[in-house]
């Protein structure tokens, strides 16, 4: 086994996903299968290879620190799941 149900539960906690019991079972099986396939990467000797994060070389792209977006509070607030006046309403975080 590459991954156990307990590990699936731990990862789901990190990812903020509340999985059902059926999902935990099927994901354990599927992830095990996929991770097993990924084992083929271990066949390669990469001791002397530098990791590649981006395929095209771009150095830091600087630009002037100046706001270019027009203020559009109403359009943004219209997308909020809950609002009060000009505020986005969120669940209480302080007791």
Say whether residue 21 binds other proteins (CB under 8 A).
no
Q: Rg (Cα) of the chain, in Å, rounded?
A: 23
Cα–chain center distance at 88 = 23
Say whether residue 1 binds other proteins (CB under 8 A).
no
Among 21, 75, 84, 86, binds other proteins (CB under 8 A): 75
What six digits make up the tokens of 32?
Answer: 């095990």
Say whether residue 72 binds other proteins (CB under 8 A).
yes
Rounded CA-CA distance 29/32 in Å is: 5
Q: Under a CB-based contact definition with an 8 Å cutoff, are residues 86 and 73 in contact?
A: yes
Looking at beta carbons only, is 14 or 84 nearer to other proteins?
14
- By rule CB under 8 A, what count of residues binds other proteins? 51
> Strand locations in the chain, DSSP E?
83-84, 87-88
Tell me which residues touch other proteins (CB under 8 A).
Answer: 3, 7-8, 11-12, 14-19, 23, 27, 30-31, 33-35, 37-38, 40-42, 44, 46, 49-56, 58, 60-61, 63, 69, 72, 75-76, 78-82, 88, 90-93
């Amino acid at each position: 086994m590459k991954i156990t149900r307990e590990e699936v539960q731990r990862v789901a906690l990190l990812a903020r996903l509340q999985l059902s019991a059926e999902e935990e079972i099927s994901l354990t099986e599927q992830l095990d299968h996929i991770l097993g396939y990924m084992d083929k990467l271990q066949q390669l000797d990469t001791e002397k290879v530098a990791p590649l994060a981006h395929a095209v070389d771009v150095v830091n792209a600087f630009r002037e620190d100046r706001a270019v977006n027009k203020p559009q509070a109403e359009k943004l607030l219209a997308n909020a799941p809950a609002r009060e006046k000009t505020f986005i309403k969120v669940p209480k975080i302080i007791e």
